[in-house]
């Protein structure tokens, strides 16, 4: 499991996250409704604990299933390589749907593959 406790503490201290969005698990603060698994050999951000390589993010959502797509993928670029990765994915048939900028919590693009399945690129 990924350990986002450093990021959670930063967001709480800055007022960007409320205590109601946090739960303690095995003595560490983590996001309520989110859990990520990353490959242990891959790089990660030392200040936040967020994986920079192969990573699966599991997220609770309030709405029920709307269609067959229930798996959501986040693809992370190399540091400074977001534009190059976006262009490569577009060349492969993906389309940009929405840019999301959450300030210190992150910046990413929601994209759609040729079959209409959405995924995020950060």
What would the pLDDT profile of 35-71 be if each residue is shown by its tens digit?
888 888 888 888 888 888 888 778 887 877 676 666 7
pLDDT at residue 90 in the model = 97
Q: Which fold has domain 66-122?
A: 2,3-Dihydroxybiphenyl 1,2-Dioxygenase; domain 1 (3.10.180)
Q: How confident is the model at residue 8 (pLDDT cuts 50, 70, 90)?
A: very high
Q: Which of 94, 102, 56 has its CA nearest to residue 75? A: 56
Q: What is the DSSP string of 7-61?
A: HHHHHHHTTSS-GGGEEEETTEEEETTEEEEE-TTS-B-TTT--BSSSEEEEE--
HSE toward the beta carbon, residue 109, CA cutoff 13 A? 18
SS3 at position 88? helix
pTM of the full predicted structure?
0.53
When pLDDT is averaged across residues 83-88 and rounded to a whole number, the result is: 96
Average pLDDT over residues 85-111: 93
- Per the DSSP assignment, residues forming a β-bridge with 29 are 24
What average pLDDT does this structure show over 89-104? Answer: 93
Angle in degrees, CA 109, 84, 110, rounded to 5: 10
Domain boundaries, the chain: 1-60, 66-122
Q: How many Cβ atoms are within 10 Å of 5's Cβ, its own excluded? A: 19
pLDDT given for residue 70 in this prediction:
67
Task: State mean pLDDT over 82-111.
Answer: 93
């Amino acid at each position: 499991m990924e350990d986002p406790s450093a990021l959670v503490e930063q967001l709480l201290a800055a007022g960007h996250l409320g205590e109601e969005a946090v739960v303690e698990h095995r003595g560490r603060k983590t996001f309520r409704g989110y859990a990520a698994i990353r490959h242990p050999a891959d790089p990660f951000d030392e200040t936040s604990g967020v994986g920079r390589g192969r990573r699966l993010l599991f997220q609770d959502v309030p709405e029920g299933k709307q269609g067959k797509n229930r798996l959501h993928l986040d693809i992370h670029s190399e540091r400074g390589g977001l534009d190059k990765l976006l262009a490569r994915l577009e060349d492969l048939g993906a389309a940009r749907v929405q840019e999301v900028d959450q300030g210190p919590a992150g910046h990413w693009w929601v994209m759609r593959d040729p079959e209409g399945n959405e995924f995020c690129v950060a």
